[in-house]
């Protein structure tokens, strides 16, 4: 499978630029991309250092950056963390986006720790396991992955198929269709147009009919990821400095990290990357 071409976009350039960002007291705070470094430099928020690919902030940054020796400040290789190849690389979110996007900002903005490099093959291999894991949450929370609250419109498929045949016939791709059949298909589309009180040319109507779907989200539609994250956030506690913590959500994040380590042989993942690493920004 290694040489098989897979239909997934991959990055051509290095995923990690590994620019170093130092604080005013010369502490290595974090790593960033060239784009981010340029952003600081353009705004006079940082100065270029003689060291290769390094800048020093010209303001006192909020927080202290990452601890010395932390995964987030080390040099990262542009290779797949599983097989070590430097070809066909892609960025992989260890916490699937369908959950991550509903998480609070204090967790979401920390997620670069949970963003790793995988090649396309390793990515697809792991995704099969990740899909199975998502099914476990669908069962546990009694909430299908596709969400709940779809409104089925099976009649749409009759109109869409009729429009598709009419278009093919029009374009000479269905020369053998009997005349009475094509007349019937035209009538299906015409009746639908009347029912929808739709104006426009025949081609425009056909184009609309081709877009019809067999279902759509109703007003009470519930997204799987949104629902699961909301449940995980029910147990919230406020700690010092008025910060909120969600123990169940923390465990969920860690479980995804554990799952990734278990099913994706991470021979090339840094030793400093850890399941128990920080989840919150502050």
| Interface ranges with Zn ion (CB under 5 A) | 80, 82-83, 119, 122
Q: Is 281 exposed, middle or buried (CB count within 10 Å of its CB: 0-12, 13-18, 19+)?
A: middle
Nearer to Zn ion, 89 or 98 (CB): 89
Rounded to a whole number of angstroms, the minimum distance from the CB of residue 125 to Zn ion is 8
User: Half-sphere exposure (CA, 13 Å, Cβ side) for 64?
Assistant: 4
Helix (H, G, I), strand (E, B) or coil at 217: strand
Q: Of 80 and 163, which has the nearer Cβ to Zn ion?
A: 80
Cα(133)–Cα(228) distance, integer angstroms:
13
Q: Return the number of other C-beta atoms located less than 10 Å from residue 92's C-beta.
A: 22
Whichever of 86 and 109 has its CB closer to Zn ion, that residue is 86
- Least spacing, CB of residue 120 vs Zn ion, in Å: 8
Buried b / exposed e over 191-212, threshold 16 CB at 10 Å, is ebbeeeeeeeeeeebbebbeeb
15 vs 185 by CB, closer to Zn ion: 15
**Residue 125 C-alpha from the chain's centroid:** 17
* Shortest distance in whole angstroms from residue 74 CB to Zn ion: 20
CB of 80 or CB of 188, closer to Zn ion: 80
What phi, psi does 182 have (nearest 5°)?
-70, -30
* Residue 28 vs 83, nearer CB to Zn ion: 83
Query: Closest separation between CB of residue 271 and Zn ion, Å?
Result: 18
Alpha-carbon distance of 134 to 129, in angstroms, equals: 9
CB of 82 to Zn ion, least distance (A): 4
Cα–Cα distance for residue pair 282/259, rounded to 1 Å = 25
């Amino acid at each position: 499978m290694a040489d098989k071409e897979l239909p997934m976009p991959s990055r051509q350039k290095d995923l990690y630029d590994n620019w170093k960002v130092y604080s005013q007291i010369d502490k290595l705070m974090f790593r960033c991309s060239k784009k981010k470094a340029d952003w600081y430099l353009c705004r006079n928020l940082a100065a270029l250092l003689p060291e290769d690919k390094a800048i020093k902030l010209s303001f006192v940054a909020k927080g202290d950056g990452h601890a010395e020796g932390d995964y987030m400040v080390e040099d990262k290789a542009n290779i797949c963390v599983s097989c070590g190849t430097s070809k066909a690389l892609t960025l992989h979110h260890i916490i699937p986006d369908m959950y991550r996007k509903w998480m609070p900002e204090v967790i979401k903005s920390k997620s670069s720790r949970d963003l790793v490099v995988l090649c396309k093959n390793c990515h697809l291999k792991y995704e099969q396991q990740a899909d199975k894991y998502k099914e476990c949450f669908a069962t546990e929370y009694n909430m299908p992955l596709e969400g709940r609250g779809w409104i089925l419109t099976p009649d749409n498929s009759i109109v869409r198929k009729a429009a598709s045949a009419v278009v093919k016939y029009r374009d000479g791709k269905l020369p053998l269709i009997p005349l009475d059949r094509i007349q019937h298909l035209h009538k299906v589309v015409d009746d639908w147009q009347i029912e929808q009180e739709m104006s426009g040319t025949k081609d425009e109507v056909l184009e609309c009919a081709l877009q019809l779907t067999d279902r759509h989200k109703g007003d009470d539609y519930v997204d799987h990821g949104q629902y699961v994250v909301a449940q995980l956030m029910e147990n919230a506690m406020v700690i010092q400095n008025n910060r909120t913590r969600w123990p169940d959500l923390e465990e969920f994040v860690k479980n995804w990290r554990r799952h990734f380590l278990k099913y994706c042989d991470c021979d090339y993942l840094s030793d400093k990357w850890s399941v128990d690493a920080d989840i919150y920004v502050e």
